[in-house]
Structure 1
Amino acid sequence: MNSLARILRSASALWPYYLGVVLISTAAAALGLVSPFILREATNTIVATLQGDNTVADVTTTLLLLAVGLLVADLANTVMHNIGGYIGDVMAMRMRQILSTRYYAKLLALPQRYFDNQVTGTVIARLDRSITSITQFLQSFSNSFFPMLIQVVAVLAITAWYYWPLTVLLALLFPIYMWLTTLTSKRWQKLEGQKNEQIDVANGRFAEVIGQVKVVKSFVSEVRELNDFGTRYGRTVEITRPQSRWWHTMDTARGAALNVIFFGIYLVLFFRTINGYFTLGDMVMLIQLVNMAKQPVFMMSWIVDAAQRAIAGSKDYFKVMEEEFEPTANAGLVAATEASGVPVLDLTPTSPVVPVPGSPVIEFDGVSFEYLPGEPVIRDVTFQAAEGETIALVGESGGGKSTLVNLLLGLYRVSDGHLRVCGRDVTDLSAAELRASVGVVFQEASLFSGTIRENIAYGRPDATDEEVFEVARRANAHDFIVRFPQGYDTVIGERGLRLSGGQKQRVAVARAMLKDAPVLLLDEATSALDTKSERAVQAGLDELMKNRTTVIIAHRLSTIAGVDKIITLHEGVVDEIGSPDELAASGGIYAELLQLTASSSAADRARLKRYGFVVDGAGEQEESEQD
């Protein structure tokens, strides 16, 4: 229960709800105790009348008043119960809001390395399962079980006043029940963890498949995916069998122990009454009070089950929350992971770093990096890019090109050496400052559901319509956008599914253009497009590259023929640096690629593909002449 207590303590902003639950539960418990006393008086009055001590006429008014009192107490108890239910429902949903916001903030503040080892759907499924189990338990406890516990305390006090051995028997119920529950919990939670693992994997794959259903259908894999999904849930059934058998075996033992104790309680009440120690009214009242204590005891089976699900879920939640932050994570995100209420976030856009005149805008100084310890991807990389200069990275797939892009985006920190952007060492910049200074167009446009306008303005939500229209024109996107009936307000669907590849990429170019960062990264931005679409996108890219320091990972030699500098990489090490003309005559990698482009042999074209370059029809040179 420590994890649940930890959650309650950390959500201190909910203290008015905690207080409200306590007060309303106390009032409801008190009102619930009124009925047994009224029934005692009514029973004693009726018995006395039947014995001839009173006439029916004498007790009619008394019985009527007792019945009215019973009605008022029950009505008030009903009102209090529902007020408490309302407070509990709102408290649980506020708790869900706080925990979900913290979880989201934590994920946004985690380093890229964390996501490299996670399935996106599993991350999402864990949020729903973990927090739902916690909030459902909290809601049930506050709405039903807590008022009963308060009532039990009052019942123990009342029975102690009447006959203390009766209280001892009632009090024995709780330690016996909790002891038997403790014997159950460890094994149950272990099995629950195994079930959660299967559910998370299954739901993670489910999200992946639905997100890429076109691929699944294209490869006729629907049946296989469904089978895998069903198999995962089948394993949860197999785990549930011993888990449930163990739980209900122990629950039978708990129930039997309680039944024996209540047997003893009823014997005490019956024989104390028959021997004249209790009136018939006292016995009726005490039986009702005992049954009030009986209800929460038997309900403990369900509440403990819910509590254990919440505890199992909270372990997964806290496991994520204890991950280390990205070294330069946004301070607002970090604070939001610990906020006891709804975090107040500074939504002011981060300004890009201004390049230092006369200094390189990009400078790699002996940079090495390894994703896994002892397995370096790049080693001792050193080069510079001046303001307004365009450089191209060339090398075989896996040679380190995309790694350099990841380092420039601050997705990873260099293992050794120094990386400077706009004259500042990246270790001195926050993640927000670094990324605000770097615009990027990836091979996959990665648009969001929503309108075209929202996607273009994603980096600058406060941009005016004219600013959005202007960058769309410069990105060669305006004409196709206005052909849609809703124009810029067209909803493009998840990942921009309503747009073609070329249209999505032009929207991505406009998005980067509106961001207006001094550094631009083009990571194979047109490699997935046909020739016609590529020309339209390339026109936008040419406009985007004006007056920016640009790093290109290209898929056609023709697109890098006009760059200022080419940097060739071989197995993570810089091989050559120079202009296209210089490297064409050097006999190195770039010169070899030019020769491979002119060749029509299958072996040469296969080697060209290893460098990530597209081979079309009669070859790259013909394509270049057409361009």
Structure 2
Amino acid sequence: MSSLLRIIRFTRSLAPLYTAVILASVLTAAAGLAVPFLIGHATDTVTGAVSGETPTSAAVRTVVLIAAGVLVAELFTTVVSNVGGWYGDVMSNRMRTILSVRYYDKLLHLPQRWFDGEITGTIVARLNRSITEITNFAKMMSNSFASMLITTVAVLAISAWYAWPLTLLLLIVFPVYVWLTSLTSVKWQRLEAEKNEQVDIASGRFAEVVGQIRVVKSFVSERRELTDFTQRFGSTDATTREQSSHWHRMDVIRRAFLNLVFFGIYVIIFVRTVQGAFTLGEMVLLVQLMSMAKAPVESMSFVIDSAQRALAGSRDYFRVMETPVDPRIVLQSAHGRADGEPAEAPVEPVPGAPVISFHEVDFAYEDGEDVLHGIDFHVDPGEKIALVGESGGGKSTIVNLLLGLYEPRQGSVEVVGRPSADLPLEQLRSRIGVVFQDASLFSGTIRENIAYGRPGASDEEVVEAARRANAEAFVLRFPDGYEQVIGERGLKLSGGQRQRIAVARAILKDAPVLVLDEATSALDTKAEIQVQKGLDELMAGRTSLIIAHRLSTIAEVDRIVTLRDGNIDEIGTPAELAGTGGIYAQLLDLQSSGDSRRLAKFDITG
């Protein structure tokens, strides 16, 4: 139950709503307890009239008043229970909001390594399932627990007043029934976890397939994907059968025990009535009270079932919430600043220091062999540096380290003379503009995507960025111009158009350091020329780190760093490296010979 208590602590701002729901439950329970007394009194009145002990006219007036009392109690119960239901709905929705926002906030601050081992769709499925189960249980408990508790305590007290053996039997049935129910918990939750794992994997794959539906269709993989999806969900059938068999087998034992105990309770009530210890009205009162006591016990199975689902969901939820975040991240509330500007006072650059420095950096993505070995180079203010090497040589890994997505295993990375490990990531990344090979656009409008790094930018600034990125012409051809919705990941745009929007986004961010990670490698020649014009505009006056794609671009940089198997092979100007016989010289020779197949392994074209 510790996880559920953590949920309550997480959502303590909902205390007024919890109180309102519980108060409604208390009033509903109190009104419900009045009904058996009223009906018992009516029974005695009718019995007296039938036996001639009470005048008929007086009995009629009494039973009419009693019926009116029952009506008032039931109307009161109807109104108050619905008021409590309204508060319960609001509470449940607010709890969903709080838990979802905190989950999302946590995800946004988790290190990149965590995402490397997760499937996007599974993360989303876990969010939906876990929080739904938690909020459903919270709503059910707040609506019924107080009522159940009050009803049980009142029934125990009243039955003790009339006949202590009834109370004794009830005191036995409650803990034994709960104990029998709890015996199912360990196995049930283990099987539930197995089902959740398969459902989460299937749901994650479902989201991937929908996001990559063109690939699925082009490779005629619909049947294979459907088969895998079916098998995942189908595997839960056997688990459910085992789980349900275990649960209902235990339910037979629980309810049989309950039936035996209540057999004893009813025997006591009926025998004592025959013996004259109870009036007929008192017998009716006690039978109704026992029925009211029995209902919470019978509903205990549903309560514990919901609790177990909520426990399983809360464990998945807190497994994510307990994942350590990068200590350099400045955690902010969901209502914190969202304008892309640093939340803390900016760290000033060290005068005269290189803009970027790598000092003897070793790095491995997983425990094992390093993919970078002793990387050591620097980039001075305004300098353009190209990273060149075979595919898999470590070029993109260097960019990932610069952006703080990973930490070096050994060595250090410095930005503006400060160790990146000492810079809040928000400030580090605010200094760097990036254009990736994949434009990575969002499903909103063109304007929203250009202004993603500066949501508060004016329309004039957005238009100017698009113009400088050589994007304005095609944007204005859309019916809605900058308000054109471009679809998920910008699917309504061509590759060249997406990249020019990405370049405009980097221009508008106006960061002093620019990283181009193979920004034109996926484009045809015409689109590449158009995007390159935007990139040239973007690089003007900035310190640039370029993962090279076009040899013509490499020829215009200040220095080239060549990489081979995660090691720096050479550093020098294009002219210096052209005659050394190293990687860059080989690329020039391959271009001259037109050997495109060997060029391809370097991700380089002419």
TM-score where L is the length of structure 2: 0.97
Match of 1:525 among 499, 515, 519: 519
Match of 2:489 among 495, 499, 505: 495
Deviation of residue 372 (structure 1)? 2.0
Give distance in 2, aligned partners of 1:389 and 1:544.
Answer: 14
Give distance in 1, aligned partners of 2:195 and 2:98.
Answer: 26
2:604 aligned with 1:610, yes or no? no
Greater Cα offset, 532-541 or 408-417: 408-417
Give distance in 2, aligned partners of 1:355 and 1:582.
Answer: 31
Match of 1:476 among 433, 457, 470: 470
Give distance in 1, aligned partners of 2:71 and 2:427.
Answer: 67
Aligned counterparts, 1:231-310, within 5 A: 231-310=231-310
Q: CA RMSD in A?
A: 1.3
The residue number in structure 1 matching 2:548 is 554
2:363 aligned with 1:372, yes or no? no
The residue number in structure 1 matching 2:222 is 222
The residue number in structure 2 matching 1:467 is 461
Deviation of residue 184 (structure 1)? 0.8
What are the superposed Cα offsets for residues 379-405 of structure 1, whole Å, 9 maximum, x if unpaired? 111111111111100011111100100
Aligned counterparts, 1:354-503, within 5 A: 355-503=349-497
Give distance in 2, aligned partners of 1:581 and 1:74.
Answer: 93
Asked whether the equivalents of residues 389 and 550 of structure 1 are also in contact (C-alpha less than 8 Å), the reply is yes
2:570 aligned with 1:579, yes or no? no
The residue number in structure 1 matching 2:190 is 190
The residue number in structure 1 matching 2:139 is 139
Deviation of residue 353 (structure 1)? 5.8
The residue number in structure 1 matching 2:150 is 150
The residue number in structure 2 matching 1:625 is none
Where 1:372 maps in the other structure, the secondary structure is: coil
Asked whether the equivalents of residues 31 and 73 of structure 2 are also in contact (C-alpha less than 8 Å), the reply is yes
Q: Which amino acid aligns with 1:519?
A: V
What are the superposed Cα offsets for residues 150-186 of structure 1, whole Å, 9 maximum, x if unpaired? 2111111111111111011122221111111121111
2:125 aligned with 1:125, yes or no? yes
Greater Cα offset, 155-164 or 452-461: 155-164
- Structure 2: stretches of 5+ with no match in the other structure: none
Give distance in 2, aligned partners of 1:138 and 1:327.
Answer: 33
Compared with structure 1, are the counterparts of its residues 116 and 399 closer, same or farther at alpha carbon in structure 2 (3 Å cutoff)? same
2:166 aligned with 1:166, yes or no? yes
Asked whether the equivalents of residues 339 and 456 of structure 2 are also in contact (C-alpha less than 8 Å), the reply is no
Compared with structure 1, are the counterparts of its residues 399 and 387 closer, same or farther at alpha carbon in structure 2 (3 Å cutoff)? same
The residue number in structure 2 matching 1:350 is 341
The residue number in structure 2 matching 1:45 is 45
The residue number in structure 2 matching 1:55 is 55
What are the superposed Cα offsets for residues 298-331 of structure 1, whole Å, 9 maximum, x if unpaired? 1111111111111111111111111111131122
Task: Provide runs of 4+ in structure 1 moved above 4 Å.
Answer: 351-357
Give distance in 2, aligned partners of 1:470 and 1:407.
Answer: 31
Give distance in 1, aligned partners of 2:6 and 2:359.
Answer: 46
Where 1:381 maps in the other structure, the secondary structure is: strand
Where 1:417 maps in the other structure, the secondary structure is: strand
Asked whether the equivalents of residues 400 and 572 of structure 1 are also in contact (C-alpha less than 8 Å), the reply is yes
Deviation of residue 65 (structure 1)? 1.2
Give distance in 1, aligned partners of 2:495 and 2:478.
Answer: 16
Aligned counterparts, 1:335-346, within 5 A: 336=333, 343-346=334-337
The residue number in structure 1 matching 2:75 is 75
2:591 aligned with 1:597, yes or no? yes
The residue number in structure 1 matching 2:316 is 316
Where 1:596 maps in the other structure, the secondary structure is: helix
Deviation of residue 354 (structure 1)? 5.8
Give distance in 1, aligned partners of 2:461 and 2:349.
Answer: 24
Deviation of residue 530 (structure 1)? 0.7
Q: Which amino acid aligns with 1:561?
A: A
Deviation of residue 495 (structure 1)? 0.5
Compared with structure 1, are the counterparts of its residues 409 and 185 closer, same or farther at alpha carbon in structure 2 (3 Å cutoff)? same
Asked whether the equivalents of residues 362 and 423 of structure 1 are also in contact (C-alpha less than 8 Å), the reply is yes
- Overall identity of the aligned pairs, in %: 60
Give distance in 2, aligned partners of 1:222 and 1:262.
Answer: 57
The residue number in structure 2 matching 1:566 is 560
Q: Which amino acid aligns with 1:350?
A: E
Where 2:437 maps in the other structure, the secondary structure is: coil
Q: Which amino acid aligns with 1:613?
A: I
- Structure 1: stretches of 5+ with no match in the other structure: 337-342, 615-619, 621-627
Give distance in 2, aligned partners of 1:88 and 1:587.
Answer: 75
Give distance in 2, aligned partners of 1:20 and 1:34.
Answer: 22
The residue number in structure 2 matching 1:340 is none
The residue number in structure 2 matching 1:617 is none
The residue number in structure 2 matching 1:28 is 28
Give distance in 1, aligned partners of 2:352 and 2:22.
Answer: 67
Deviation of residue 355 (structure 1)? 4.6
The residue number in structure 2 matching 1:623 is none
Give distance in 2, aligned partners of 1:150 and 1:408.
Answer: 61
Deviation of residue 241 (structure 1)? 0.9
Give distance in 2, aligned partners of 1:599 and 1:294.
Answer: 90
Deviation of residue 145 (structure 1)? 4.2
Deviation of residue 23 (structure 1)? 1.7
Greater Cα offset, 93-102 or 207-216: 93-102
Asked whether the equivalents of residues 353 and 422 of structure 1 are also in contact (C-alpha less than 8 Å), the reply is no
What are the superposed Cα offsets for residues 53-84 of structure 1, whole Å, 9 maximum, x if unpaired? 12221222222211111100110011111111
Where 1:461 maps in the other structure, the secondary structure is: coil
Deviation of residue 146 (structure 1)? 3.5
The residue number in structure 2 matching 1:96 is 96
What are the superposed Cα offsets for residues 328-350 of structure 1, whole Å, 9 maximum, x if unpaired? 11221xxx4xxxxxx54233532
Greater Cα offset, 343-352 or 146-155: 343-352
Q: Which amino acid aligns with 1:588?
A: G
Q: Which amino acid aligns with 2:415?
A: V
Asked whether the equivalents of residues 111 and 325 of structure 1 are also in contact (C-alpha less than 8 Å), the reply is yes
Where 1:457 maps in the other structure, the secondary structure is: helix
The residue number in structure 2 matching 1:624 is none
Compared with structure 1, are the counterparts of its residues 516 and 353 closer, same or farther at alpha carbon in structure 2 (3 Å cutoff)? farther
Asked whether the equivalents of residues 28 and 80 of structure 2 are also in contact (C-alpha less than 8 Å), the reply is yes
Give distance in 2, aligned partners of 1:353 and 1:458.
Answer: 23
Deviation of residue 253 (structure 1)? 0.7
TM-score where L is the length of structure 1: 0.94
